[in-house]
Chain A
Amino acid sequence: MARLTDANVSIAEEIIARYPRAKSALIPLLHLAQEQDGWVTDEAMRHIAELIGVTPAEVLGTGTFYEMFKFEPVGKYLINVCGTMSCALLGADDLMHAAEEELGIHEGGTTDDGMFTLHRAECQAACTEAPCLQVNYRFKFRATPVEVRQLISDLRSGRLDDEVPPHGTLARIRQHIPADRGVGAVDPADVTEPPAWISAASQGGAS
């Protein structure tokens, strides 16, 4: 639990290289740290600061602005019940109550076994499928209280391990720019000319 592993440092370096300025990688790297440990540790933030050449305070300063980064441990499964208008109109409160009852915790809490954290969330861009919720940012659409209980029991028993990775993992496919195809990031200070196809066009034709 701590600094990024060697494997993650290679991933981090690949990410950093895509940006003209390293600090742009800050949010993706915080995600990487959260994927590694389930939450963002102080050691990971220090390590990220070293990797992108800023102070740990800057990493924390940016990180705390964003809801998804957790600076203390959360459950293996983070359940976010949407409470914004369309979901509220169609029974979001009932979903929350069912989850609270099934888990024996209140909104905002984490179960004693560290399996579940329950939050009320904002509009999840699935309003036509209201009421909905996300588990580790995977959707459950048009949910009923009965389904919420079933979902929790499926998660508990491990039946959904293939579908729902532990908290911290978002996309399970990463972008990879092949070295022989990528154009590469250039510091904007080193560029003054129009790009090649614009210059070529002013001399007639792009290809």
Chain B
Amino acid sequence: MTSFPWAPGFIEGNRPQIVTSRFQYEDSFTLERYLATGGYEGLRSALARSPQDMHEEVRSSTLLGRGGAGFPAGVKWGLTPEGVYPRYLVVNGDESEPGTYKDRLLMERDPHQLIEGCLIACYAAGLSRCFLYIRGEMALAQERVAAALNDAYAAGYIGKNILGSAFSIDIVLHWGAGAYVVGEETALIESLEGNRGMPRLKPPYFPAAIGLYGQPTIVNNVETLSNLPFIATKGAAEYTAIGTESSPGTRMVAVSGHVRRPGVYEIINGTTTFRDLLYGEEFCQGIRDGNDLKAFVPGGGSAPWFLPDQLDLPFEGRLVGAAGSMLGSGAIMVMDSTTDIPSAALTLTKFYAHESCGKCVPCREGGTWLMRILDRVVEGHGTTDDLDLLLEVGESICPGDMPHAASADLQLEATPFPYKMTTICFVGPSAYVPVHSALTLFRSEFEARVAPSRSRTRIPVTAVGGDS
């Protein structure tokens, strides 16, 4: 009979584990297991000192946001305007960037760790109510977090006068209903207010200043918050001893696509290279069927593509940015030599075009145009004019130089991240990024496709097969 196993994909290794330390246990999501493995010790340790002290510890840990932008959490908490209350915490559990798979694992396998992280953040930053927003399509994560919240309330870890202290807080489970753009923090807040999830115009709406119900609001990602129990228990020094100075700690990275052993790995931040990840014995063990690597997306569907040329870059934001892409949400998608590049790009462009909220014209119109033209090209009905048209439409979303990777074969130098944009959020540009990367790095594949002699039958994204 068919079965529905839960949260597979995590692969352990002989590496430090900050957020996945309980994943080895069948019952990792229960309060019992959590308490038996040091759970809620971080909360106790936070309550034993002043909120300012705890905030300082997080600041000196240089914990970087894991939702995509990589902004230091401790600095963000300090951006709320002095003396304005109440302040809120909104947890971003909307994980839906193509390629990304880590927050759902953390919620399904270790919900108490996330809850404890929320408590520590609220205590340190003076946030008086927490809303935990889980993506609508994640039924099991909602169930696990609901059960964990119920148990934690009953045991006195959440609610009034936590562990007999002056610290009182509610954590409210909230769940979405399917809309990628809601992951953008101001759209998340709109959605939580019961509205259509459209990003707000910025400035002036930085959520730390004006967020939920117009109040100062901190939005943090699930993985970011899941690091806090470790930092509160072991201290910033032990945290920064792992990884590099600019990228301390570990990171959850999902590697998917044409590798032998796709999986979610907790890697050492800043030093692990893409080559380690894709080819290392303890990681993905190479490309499937012994094929060659053609290209990979290094940081979620929004990230400009990399070539084998970039394999030796470490997982470090500044270096990856200079090389023409971004680390984003910790998601690598791998394409082997059998991949049909225009079709692969189309799956991403379709995604972003479909997810446009419609607020900005360049995204709403441009995304649809890109999708239609690219679709025509993939189907074999395109002309060479279409290729120029793709770049022209792209220019209306991202004027000026687009970031892209260097290529020795094409004698191409890198253009660093980021790009300029005419839209409110990154959905518009993200529809263009795969088109631009694919056209820049694999133009000949497009040219072959638009040649009149080409057949009109649909060519699948890849020849199906593989050894795993």
Contacts and interface: CB of A to CB of B under 8 A. Distances in A.
Nearest to B346: A88
Given A20-B213, A185-B129, A206 B136 contact: no
A192 B87 CA distance: 10
A32 to B, nearest CB: 11
B194 A194 contact: no
Given A89-B333, A173-B146, A175-B149, A125 B167 contact: no
Contacts of B49: 206
Given A130-B256, A195-B85, A66 B179 contact: yes
Contacts of A7: none
Contacts of B1: 154, 159-160
A191 to B, nearest CB: 5
Interface string A53-70: 010000001110111110
Interface in A124-155: 124-130, 134, 136-141, 147, 150-151, 154
A159 B166 CA distance: 51
Contacts of B254: 127-128
Q: What is the interface residue range for chain B against chain A?
A: 35 or more
B219 interface: no
Contact of B301 (A67, A123, A174, A184): A123
A3 interface: no
Contact of B172 (A19, A54, A65, A147): A19
Contact of B98 (A31, A84, A129): A84
A137 B139 contact: yes
B123 A90 contact: no
B194 A62 contact: yes
Contacts of B331: 127
Nearest to A170: B139
Contacts of B228: none
A197 B168 contact: yes
Contacts of A30: 177
Contacts of A201: 50-52
B347 interface: yes
Interface string B348-371: 100100110100000000000000
24 contacts: A24-B174, A65-B357, A66-B178, A84-B98, A85-B99, A86-B257, A86-B333, A88-B461, A89-B462, A94-B464, A123-B96, A123-B301, A127-B331, A129-B101, A137-B136, A170-B139, A173-B146, A178-B153, A181-B159, A183-B169, A194-B85, A197-B168, A201-B50, A207-B166
Interface of A: 18-21, 23-28, 30-31, 52, 54, 61-63, 65-69, 80, 83-86, 88-91, 93-94, 121-130, 134, 136-141, 147, 150-151, 154, 159-160, 163-164, 169-178, 180-186, 188, 191-198, 200-201, 205-207
